[in-house]
Amino acid sequence: MAGFGQRAIWALEAGAYEAFLRGFGLLPLNTASNLGAAILRTLGPLTKTHKVALKNLEIAFPDRTPEWRETTARQHWSNIGRTFAEYPHLHKITAYQGDNITVKGVEHLDAVTRSGRGAVLISGHFANWEVMAMAIVQSGLDCAITYRAANNPWFDEQVKRVRRGYGVGTLTPKAGMKGARELMAILEEGRAIALMNDQKFNEGIPVPFFGREAMTAPGPTRLAMRAGVPLIPMSVKRIGDAPKFEVTVHEPFDLPEGKPTTEKVEAVVTRINRFVEDRIKESPADWFWVHRRFEKPVYREG
């Protein structure tokens, strides 16, 4: 049980986040997005994590100039600022009405709904990644959206409230064996699950990512193979500087038949990393570059 000091810190964090939601929620969507971009475009490069972004960009784009990487990192900060500033407005926009979001490949989601067999949907932290969850649940697909639960239970509830606002009915923590069992049970019920598969996972397997081995979660692949359901990649691009997005539901991956052996899983996870690479190359400023995707020594290099 948390002590008084911890609860006080949680209360301050939750209060600050609530003030943020209310303040940016009072602004028009475009104004909120522009303000968020301006704030992080200014403050982001002053933080230590800016160096992480530049190192990641150097690994991913070694042939680009330092000036290009610096510009891209700053554009990335603008995108992150827009993403968080748009959170209080997500309940006001929809994936299939209005002009904020265009969805391509929705027929793949419809096919899963008709099949009644479920699916594993995977993606990465592109543009405003919440928009992909919106496109999934608002298509009518019964899908559990996975997330990493926050240590602060009050903040965690606020995040879940934002997601419920645009239609997410089931949020499932994905950590640990318990989370894996819950996800498998959901698939066995004929429902779908959606997971991010682009960040470092220390207990994962080393597969290539931009020419370096990167620890990557094999869980989504194993779940799809064990349940015998499609593994469907998704992506989202930000269109210009406005809160406009293009979500794409891509063709399902062809999965190896039979049990998910180490070799089969590694081959699929390698393909997932190539998929993420390709999406990043299409729109470099849209990805979450401040994540320490590679091993620790990489970030100690000069």
Name residue 214's amino acid. A
7-21, 35-49, 259-273: segment of lowest average pLDDT? 7-21
Q: What b/e sequence results for 45-67 when a residue is b if at least 16 CB atoms lie within 10 Å of its CB, and e otherwise?
A: beeeebebbbbbbebbbeeeeee
Q: Which tokens go with 234?
A: 């998704």
- Res 175: pLDDT: 61
Q: Are 49 and 74 in contact (CB under 8 A)?
A: no
Three-state secondary structure call for residue 242: coil
Give the closest residue to 291 by CA, choosing from 159, 199, 185: 199
Sign of CA pseudo-dihedral 249, 254, 258, 259: negative
- Res 156: pLDDT: 86
Q: What is the DSSP letter of 126?
A: B
Q: What stretch of H or E contains 122?
A: strand 120-123
User: Where do runs of H (alpha helix) occur along the chain?
Assistant: 4-25, 29-43, 49-60, 66-86, 106-115, 130-137, 153-165, 176-188, 219-227, 262-282
Greatest Cα-to-Cα distance within the chain, rounded to the nearest angstrom? 54
Look up the pTM and report it: 0.93
- Res 301: pLDDT: 67
Instruction: Calculate what percentage of the chain has a pLDDT beyond 70.
Output: 97
Domain extents for the chain? 4-300
Please write the tens of the pLDDT for every residue from 252-293. 999 999 899 999 999 999 999 999 999 999 999 999 999 999
> Which residues, in sequence order, are bridge partners of residue 231?
120, 253
Q: In degrees, to the nearest 5, what angle opens at C-alpha 171 toward C-alphas 168 and 176? A: 160
Please write the tens of the pLDDT for every residue from 214-243. 999 999 999 999 999 999 999 999 999 889
